[in-house]
Every structure is written in C-alpha cells, then in structure tokens.
Structure 1
Amino acid sequence: MDGTLNYYSAQTEDLQIDVHGNTATITEKSKVTAAVFGGGKHILRLQLFFNARKIDNEWKLTMSKAATY
C-alpha cells in the first residue's frame, strides 16, 4: 500500500513438481514485472522453491523461498 513493492504480471517459464509419497517439491522460474522500492518497472527473473507435505489428505506448504536467476 505504501508503494514499496508493486507487482504487475508474472509469466511462468518453467515449473517442476516432484511428488514422493506424502511430500513434494515445487520449483518455478518466472519473469515478473515489478516496481520495487520506488524504482521503475523492471522484469525480474525469479526462481521460487516450495516444499509441501500431505497432512490429513490436504497439501500444506512447509517451506518457501525465492531467489533471482
């Protein structure tokens, strides 16, 4: 709301999901158009990492992190 992070669009370039029983890992590479910390719009290449676990028949995220690539 204060204009620090403004995201306009995201385009997935690659998505990998690996399921092993009740656990899964998800890796996504995206091009994100954003204005960050008062700067102008730029395209950022972000790689997202998630771990998930199936608990009571529902998938729950247990970890997430992001990095540039």
Structure 2
Amino acid sequence: RQDAESLPANDNNRATLADLSFLDVINDEAKVAEIARRAERLGHVTLIVMAIGLTALPLLCLMLR
C-alpha cells in the first residue's frame, strides 16, 4: 500500500488539509469592526448615489426634449 505522500498529486486526497479561512488572518475584533463600518458607509454612499441618479436621469431627459 502507498502512503498519501507518495501518491500522484491529487487535490482531493491530501495528507494535510489546507486552512484557507481568511478569518484566521483577521482575528482582531477592531479590524473586523472597521471593515464592517467601511462596508456600511460604502453601502450608504451607493444608496445615495443611486437615488440621485434615479431622480436626475428622468429630469435630464425631460430637459433635453
């Protein structure tokens, strides 16, 4: 019988499992809170820009007629 290390390369059958979680890199609660605050601010800015665009575009079309 062959060991897992001596078998041909196969990503589905590895001897050691790779830890691909990004949460281990960001383990500080302050960093997570800052990312959440930035995401919320970006969401608010996006919502405001979309609202302005949805009201300004019809007005622009009416003005150009």
The alignment's TM-score, normalised by the length of structure 1, stands at 0.16
Q: Which of the two has greater strand per residue?
A: 1
* TM-score scaled by length of structure 2: 0.17
Which is greater in Rg?
2
Instruction: Compare relative contact order (CA 8 Å, sep 6+) and give the higher one, 1 or 2.
Output: 1
